[in-house]
Amino acid sequence: MAAIGDVARLAGVSKATASRALSGRGYVAEETRQRVEAAAAKIGYIVSPDAASLVTGRTKNVGVIIPFVNRWFFGEVLEGIERALLSAGYDLTLYNLSERGPGRARVFDFFLARKRVDAVIAVSVDLDEHEVASLEKREKPLVALGGTGGADARLSVDDRAVGQLATEHLLHLGHARIAHLAGSGASETPASVQGQRREGFLDAMSAAGIPAEGQTHILEAEVSLPGGYTGALQLLGHPGPRPTALFAASDEMAIGAIRAAEKLGIDVPGDLSVIGVDGHEYAEMFELTTVEQYPGEQGRLAVDVVLRLLGEDATADPLPDSGAPLTTRLVVRATTSAPR
């Protein structure tokens, strides 16, 4: 089996230089690095991750904690993270975070302690004080993409502004009876993504002189296609004046709501305008008006911040949470129009 000494002899350098060249830690002239890499390739030498870890103190592995892996938004974020990490020569360890309880506690108290990672990315996770403290004890950088709780750096969309923008679009078209299909727990957790979108809806309605708080036109449902479908059936079938427009907290909910309207014989957008949030890959197919965000790019940016925090002598300033929120864009399609 080839050893680092064999690589060094073939390349005509010391073992320390060969180790630095192959681990990427410490300065090595580019010509020397190429010579060492060519020697390693010639004799089939592969750097041992364990040995490299002992030398550098790094595992070249980043832990990602995420609440869902089977929903479009989170899948897109995860793909962006994975591509960026692989490009930078890092591995990924994924933790599918459950609801609060023993399973979730084990992720922070056991799995992250047992698995060696250089940093952690939390995607849309509301971290409590115990969970943040558990990560701080590992002395590893924590980058949060959305969610709440402490972190070394936080990237987020201004979800309150997103909710306000979506509602204002409907108001500007002339709608006054506007319903909001909110995500589950939005009213109980106003600081969460779904809570902030609900607050933005209320802000816009209040600014237009239409008090929305307490109305029957706010309903919470699971953030999914079935959740949007069943929630919209309940909203649109409620006794009293039916809303002429609907702001759904996600594109999947909006698409489910469009299907519910079809089942009830309600024309979209003639009788009901529908707007969502996300920029889902099916939004264009359904001609859905939406406030786009870019989850794949968000994942890449999270990795970029992790790498800056892990860099030698890096301060990673200014961090994204000290600047502008992540990019969003209103895209108007055929599911919204002026009321009849």
Rg (CA), the chain: 25
Q: Which residues pair with 220 in a beta bridge?
A: 182
CA distance 212 to 20: 63
Q: Residue 1 has what pLDDT?
A: 61
Q: Report how far residue 257's alpha carbon sits from residue 227's, in angstroms, rounded to the nearest whole number.
A: 9
The pLDDT assigned to 145 comes to 94
Residue carrying the six token digits 């010509």? 31
> Which segments within the chain are labelled E, that is strand?
61-66, 91-96, 119-123, 142-145, 153-155, 178-183, 218-221, 245-248, 273-278, 289-292, 329-331
Mean pLDDT per 10-residue segment, the chain (340 residues):
80 82 72 87 71 58 91 95 92 84 78 77 90 79 89 92 98 96 94 94 94 74 96 90 96 98 96 97 97 96 91 52 78 96
Distances in whole angstroms, Cα of residue 203 to Cα of each of 40, 199, 210, 246, 329: 62, 6, 10, 16, 19
The phi, psi pair for 24, rounded to 5°, reads 80, 10
- Which residues are CB-neighbours of 206 under 8 A, at least 6 positions away? 212
Q: What is the pLDDT of residue 330?
A: 98
Give the pLDDT score at 159: 96
- Beta bridge partners, 182, equal 220
> Which pLDDT score, from 0 to 100, does residue 214 have?
53
Phi-psi label, residue 57: left if phi above 0, alpha if psi -120 to 50, beta otherwise: left
What is the pLDDT, as a whole number, of residue 132?
85
H/E run at residue 309: helix 295-310
Short-list 234, 235, 332, CA closest to 276: 332
Rounded to two decimals, what is the model's pTM? 0.80
Could you count the other beta carbons within 10 Å of the beta carbon of residue 39?
A: 22
What value, to the nearest 5°, has the Cα angle with vertex 22 and ends 17 and 24? 90
According to the model, what pLDDT value does residue 312 have?
Answer: 45
Domains identified in the chain and CATH numbers:
4-56 (1.10.260), 61-156+296-322 (3.40.50.2300), 159-292 (3.40.50.2300)
Nearest C-alpha neighbor of 309 from the set 158, 151, 156: 151
User: What pLDDT does 130 receive?
Assistant: 84
